[in-house]
C-alpha cells in the first residue's frame, strides 16, 4: 500500500491530476473570493454567484466574435459590475436596511434562478463550445501534460485577486471599503457612503465571477446551467477556508479542486464530490469559522 | 455654528431625548454633562446622523442637517469622535488618519494639505508617530483615543463632537486628553464635549449644559455652573 502511494508520487499522472486540480481549484477560489468580498462589507452574500459566472461566460461568448478574446474581457468586466449592482439594489439593499436575517438569502437565490431562465431563453438550453484564445495543445513538463488554458486560468485568477488586494491597500477608495468592513457606523462618520460601498462590493464580486466565467469556459462547456454547481462548490470552499479570509478561500479552493480530481481518478468520478463535502462537514463541526477564519459565521 | 432645537430622538420605541435645545457658537467649547443614561451619547449620535431624529432641527452653519445620513453630515463639516473610539482595527494608524480626511481626498470638502495635516496630528499626539505603521487594533486604549480624536480632526471640521474622550483611561492619560482639548480650544476649534468628569469638563469649557433624563435641566457659563450648589451636589461630587 505504502509503496503504491510512493510510486504514485513520482508518476506523471499524479502531477497531471494535481495540475488540473489546481486550475479547477483556482476557479472555486475566485468565486469564493467574491463571496468573501460582499460578506466583508455587508455580512451578506450573493447565492446567485454561479449565475454571475455563467452570464459572464455567455456574454463573453457573444462578444468575442466581434473583437477578440482579450478585448472582450473589459466588456465582460463592465457587464459583471452592472449585474452585481443590480443584484444588490434589487435583492440585498432592502434586507440590510430592515436587518432581515433571511430576506437576502431568498432574494439572491431568486435572482439567480431568474438569470438562469433568462440565459436559457437567450442562449438556449444546449451547451455551447467556447473557442479557446490560445492553443489547445498540451504543454509537457517532464511528462506532465498541462493545458495552456489551465495556466491562463491560474494566472488570471491570481492577477485578479492581487489587483483587488492592491486596490484595498493602496487607494483611498479601497481603504474606505476596508473601513466599512471593519466598522460600518464609524466608516459613515468618515464621510464614506457605506451603502455605495456595499453596492460596489457586489459589483466587484460579480466582476470576479464573470471573468472567472470566461477563464473557465474554454475548458468546460458553456451554457445556462454551468454556474449552478460551481457556485455551490465555491460556497463550500468559502466555508472551508473561512469567509473572513481572502487567503483562506484560495487555499480552500485548491484543497477542493485537488481532492476532486484525485478522487475522480483513483476511486470513481461518481464519488469525486464526497471528500470535499466530508471536509466541509468536518470544518463545520470542528472549526465553524473556517480553517483561516477569524470569527464565527452567524448569518449563514 | 451648531444650533439644536427641540430635538427628540431615541432607539425604536424608546424615546431617550425629550426635547433638547442647545447652541454652540463658533470657536466655543461647550460641554454636555449628566449622569449615565441621561442621553449624552444619544444627543451626539442624533446630531451626527448615527440615529435619525424623530423631530427637531439641527442647524449647522445655516443649514438644517436633521434627517441627513451620517456621511452627508460629515461632508458638511461635522466630525464625531464616537463613544468607544471605534478606530479601524485592521488598518494602520496612518490609514486611519487618512480616512479622517476622506471627504477632502475625494472632492467633497476643500482638499488643503492632507499630508501636512497628518504630520500636524503626529506633532499633537507624538505617540501616534511611533505607531504610524502599526495596526490600530494593536494600540492601547489611550493611544486609540488619541487616534480617534486625531482622525476626527483630519476632517478640518466646522464642529467637533467628542464623546467621553477620557473613558477608561488611566488618570495620567485623562490629564493628557484634557490638556489636548484645552490646546484645541486655543486653536479656536468649535467643540461639543460630552464628559463623565464633569468638573474637568467645566474647567476647560466656555459654556455647559446639564442633561437629566433626556432634558436640559440647567445651562449657563461653565464657571457659573461649577459654582452652582445644585450642580455641585449632583455632578461634581461635592459634600453638602
The string of pLDDT tens digits covering residues B3-50 is 999 999 999 888 999 999 999 999 999 999 998 888 999 999 999 999
Average pLDDT of span B164-186:
92
Which among B48, B95, B108 is the nearest to A189, CB-wise?
Answer: B48
Query: What's the rounded mean pLDDT across residues A36-44?
Result: 93
Contact at CB, B74 and A175, closer than 8 angstroms: no
Q: Give the tens place of pLDDT for each residue, A58-67.
A: 999 999 889 8
- Mark whether B128 and B228 lie in a shared domain: no
Q: Looking at B156, B182, B208, which one is the last position of a domain?
A: B156
Last residue of a domain, one of B109, B128, B156: B156
pLDDT higher than threshold 70 for residue A296: no
User: Helix (H, G, I), strand (E, B), or coil: what is residue B30?
Assistant: strand
| A191–B48 CB contact, under 8 Å | no
Averaged pLDDT for residues B136-146: 94
Q: Which of B69, B82, B105 sits opposite A186 (nearest CB)?
A: B82
pLDDT above 50 for A118: yes
- Are B93 and B146 within one domain? yes
**What value does the mean pLDDT take over residues A180-201?**
97
- Which residue of chain A is at minimal alpha-carbon distance from B153? A190
> In chain B, which residue's Cα lies nearest the Cα of A197?
B71
Question: Domains in chain A: how many in total?
Answer: 1
Which residue in chain A is spatially nearest to B108 when comparing CA positions?
A191
pLDDT on residue A299? 37
Give the DSSP H or E segment for B16.
Answer: strand B14-24
Task: State the alpha helices, DSSP H only, in chain B.
Answer: 40-47, 70-75, 93-100, 102-105, 114-124, 126-130, 141-153, 171-186, 198-204, 222-227, 229-235
Whether the Cβ atoms of residue A56 and residue A209 lie closer than 8 Å to each other: yes
Chains A–B, number of C-beta pairs less than 8 Å apart: 73
The pLDDT mean for chain A works out to 90
The mean pLDDT value for B62-89 works out to: 96
A265 lies in a domain?
Answer: no
Produce one character per residue of B81-119: b if its CB has 16 or more CB atoms within 10 Å, e if not.
bbbebbbbeebbbbbbbbbbbbbbbbebbeeeebeebbe
| Enclosing domain of residue A137 | 17-228
Same domain assignment for residues B196 and B151? no
Whether B73 and B165 map to the same domain: the answer is yes
HSE of B56, CA atoms in CB hemisphere, 13 A: 22
What contacts A290, CB < 8 A, 6 or more positions away?
A: A238, A239, A240, A241, A242, A243, A244, A245, A248, A252, A283, A297
Q: Has residue A251 been placed in a domain?
A: no
Based on the fold, state whether residues B42 and B111 are members of the same structural domain: no
Could you tell me which chain A residue has the CA closest to the CA of B44? A189
pLDDT for A119 beyond 90: yes
- Tell me if B70 and A172 make a contact (CB, 8 A cut-off): no
B71 vs A173, A181, A193: nearest CB: A193
- A259-270: average pLDDT: 89
Distance to chain B for A299, nearest Cα, Å: 22
Q: Residue A295 has what pLDDT? A: 55
Residue that finishes a domain, picked among B156, B173, B190: B156
Count of residues in chain A: 300
Chain A residue closest to B74 (CA)?
A: A191
Confidence at residue B240, expressed as pLDDT on a 0 to 100 scale: 41
Determine whether the interchain pair A192/B50 forms a contact, defined as Cβ–Cβ distance below 8 Å.
no
pLDDT higher than threshold 50 for residue A297: no
List the beta strands (DSSP E) in B35-89: 55-60, 63-64, 78-81
Contact present, A46 and A205 (Cβ < 8 Å)? yes
The answer to whether position A37 is within a domain reads yes
Predicted confidence at residue A98, as pLDDT, reads: 87
- Whether A213 is in a domain gets the answer yes
| Cα distances (Å, whole numbers) of residue B191 to A185, B79, B199, B204 | 21, 10, 17, 11
Q: Give me the pLDDT at residue B152, please.
A: 97
Asked whether residue B71 falls in the same domain as residue B90, the answer is no
Range of the domain at B217: 1-77+157-240
How high is the pLDDT of residue B237?
63
Q: Grid coordinates representing A4? A: 503504491
CA distance A200 to chain B (A): 16
Asked whether residue B161 falls in the same domain as residue B145, the answer is no
> Is A3 domain-assigned?
no
Q: For residue B196, give the DSSP letter.
A: S
Lowest mean pLDDT, pick from A40-49, A261-270, B113-122, B179-188:
A261-270
Mean pLDDT, all residues of chain B: 93
What would the pLDDT profile of A204-237 be if each residue is shown by its tens digit? 999 999 999 999 999 888 999 999 989 999 999 9
Q: Do residues A178 and B88 touch, judged by C-beta distance below 8 A?
A: yes
The label of the residue with cell 431568486 reads: A110
CB contact under 8 A, A189 and B50: yes
Nearest-CA distance from B94 to chain A in Å? 11
Residues of B engaging A, defined by a Cβ cutoff of 8 Å: 48-50, 69-71, 74-75, 79-80, 82, 86-91, 95, 98-100, 102-103, 105-106, 108-109, 151-152, 155
The pLDDT confidence band at residue B148, using thresholds 50, 70 and 90, is very high
Among A60-69, A228-237, A270-279, B206-215, which is the least confidently predicted range? A270-279
Is residue A164 assigned to a domain?
yes
One domain, residues B64 and B162:
yes
Tell me, yes or no, whether B69 and B161 share the same domain. Answer: yes
- The pLDDT > 70 percentage for chain B reads 98
Do B110 and B49 share a structural domain?
no
The yes-or-no verdict on residue A114 having pLDDT over 80 is: yes
**What is the tally of structural domains in chain B?**
2
CA distance A92 to chain B (A): 19
Residue A117 has pLDDT above 60, yes or no: yes
Chosen for mutation from A186, A195, A196 (greatest number of chain B CBs closer than 10 Å) is: A186
B46 with B96, same domain: the answer is no
- Mean pLDDT, residues B211-240: 83
Q: How far apart are CA B12 and CA A4, in angstroms?
A: 68
Q: Residue A178 is nearest to which of B50, B80, B91, comparing CB atoms?
A: B91
**Chain B neighbors of A170, CB-CB under 8 A:** none
Contact between residue A39 and residue A275 where contact means Cβ atoms under 8 Å apart: no
pLDDT of A2 higher than 80: no
Q: Would you call B9 helix, strand, or coil by DSSP?
A: strand
Report whether B44 contacts B194 (CB < 8 A). Answer: yes
CA distance A229 to A251: 19
B/e letters for A37-51, b = 16+ CB within 10 Å, e = fewer, are bbbbbbbbbbbbbbb
Q: Report the C-alpha gap between B112 and A239 in whole angstroms.
A: 45
Residues B71, B161 share a domain = yes
Amino acid at each position: 500500500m505504502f509503496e503504491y502511494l510512493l510510486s504514485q508520487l513520482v508518476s506523471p499522472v499524479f502531477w497531471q491530476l494535481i495540475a488540473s486540480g489546481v486550475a479547477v481549484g483556482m476557479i472555486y477560489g475566485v468565486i469564493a473570493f467574491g463571496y468573501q468580498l460582499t460578506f466583508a462589507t455587508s455580512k451578506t452574500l450573493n447565492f446567485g454567484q454561479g449565475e454571475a459566472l455563467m452570464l459572464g461566460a455567455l456574454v463573453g461568448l457573444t462578444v468575442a466574435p466581434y473583437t477578440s478574446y482579450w478585448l472582450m474581457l473589459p466588456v465582460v468586466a463592465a457587464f459583471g459590475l452592472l449585474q452585481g449592482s443590480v443584484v444588490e439594489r434589487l435583492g440585498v439593499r432592502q434586507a440590510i436596511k430592515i436587518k432581515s436575517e433571511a430576506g437576502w438569502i431568498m432574494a439572491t437565490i431568486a435572482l439567480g434562478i431568474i438569470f438562469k431562465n433568462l440565459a436559457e431563453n437567450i442562449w438556449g438550453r444546449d451547451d455551447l463550445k467556447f473557442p479557446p484564445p490560445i492553443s489547445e495543445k498540451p504543454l509537457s513538463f517532464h511528462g506532465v501534460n498541462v493545458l495552456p488554458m489551465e495556466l491562463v486560468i491560474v494566472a488570471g485568477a491570481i492577477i485578479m485577486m492581487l489587483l483587488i488586494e492592491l486596490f484595498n491597500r493602496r487607494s483611498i477608495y479601497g481603504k474606505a471599503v476596508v473601513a466599512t468592513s471593519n466598522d460600518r457606523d464609524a466608516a459613515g462618520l468618515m464621510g464614506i457612503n457605506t451603502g455605495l460601498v456595499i453596492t460596489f462590493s457586489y459589483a466587484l464580486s460579480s466582476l470576479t465571477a464573470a471573468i472567472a466565467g470566461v477563464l473557465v469556459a474554454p475548458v468546460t462547456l458553456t451554457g445556462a446551467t454551468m454556474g449552478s454547481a460551481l457556485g455551490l462548490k465555491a460556497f463550500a470552499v468559502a466555508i472551508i477556508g473561512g469567509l473572513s479570509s481572502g487567503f483562506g478561500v484560495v487555499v480552500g479552493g485548491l484543497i477542493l479542486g485537488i481532492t476532486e480530481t484525485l478522487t475522480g481518478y483513483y476511486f470513481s468520478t461518481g464519488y469525486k464530490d464526497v471528500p470535499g463535502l466530508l471536509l466541509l462537514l468536518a470544518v463545520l463541526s470542528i472549526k465553524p469559522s473556517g480553517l483561516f477564519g477569524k470569527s464565527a459565521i452567524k448569518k449563514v | 455654528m451648531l444650533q439644536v432645537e427641540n430635538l427628540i430622538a431615541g432607539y425604536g420605541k424608546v424615546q431617550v431625548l425629550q426635547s433638547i435645545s442647545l447652541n454652540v457658537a463658533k470657536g466655543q467649547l461647550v460641554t454636555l454633562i449628566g449622569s449615565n443614561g441621561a442621553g449624552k451619547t444619544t444627543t451626539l449620535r442624533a446630531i451626527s446622523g448615527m440615529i435619525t431624529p424623530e423631530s427637531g432641527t439641527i442647524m449647522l452653519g445655516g443649514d438644517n442637517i436633521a434627517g441627513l445620513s451620517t456621511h452627508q453630515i460629515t461632508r458638511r463639516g461635522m466630525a464625531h469622535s464616537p463613544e468607544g473610539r471605534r478606530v479601524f482595527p485592521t488598518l494602520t494608524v496612518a490609514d486611519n488618519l487618512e480616512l479622517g480626511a476622506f471627504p477632502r481626498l475625494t472632492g467633497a470638502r476643500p482638499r488643503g494639505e492632507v499630508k501636512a495635516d497628518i504630520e500636524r496630528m503626529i506633532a499633537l499626539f507624538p505617540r501616534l508617530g511611533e505607531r504610524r505603521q502599526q495596526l490600530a487594533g494593536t494600540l492601547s486604549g489611550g493611544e486609540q483615543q488619541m487616534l480617534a480624536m486625531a482622525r476626527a480632526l483630519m476632517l478640518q471640521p466646522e464642529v467637533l463632537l467628542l464623546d467621553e474622550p477620557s473613558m477608561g483611561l488611566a488618570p495620567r492619560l485623562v490629564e493628557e486628553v484634557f490638556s489636548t482639548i484645552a490646546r484645541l480650544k486655543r486653536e479656536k476649534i468649535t467643540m461639543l464635549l460630552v464628559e463623565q468628569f464633569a468638573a474637568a469638563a467645566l474647567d476647560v469649557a466656555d459654556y455647559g449644559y446639564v442633561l437629566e433624563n433626556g432634558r436640559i435641566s440647567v445651562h449657563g457659563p461653565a464657571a457659573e455652573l461649577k459654582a452652582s450648589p445644585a450642580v455641585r451636589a449632583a455632578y461634581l461630587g461635592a459634600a453638602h
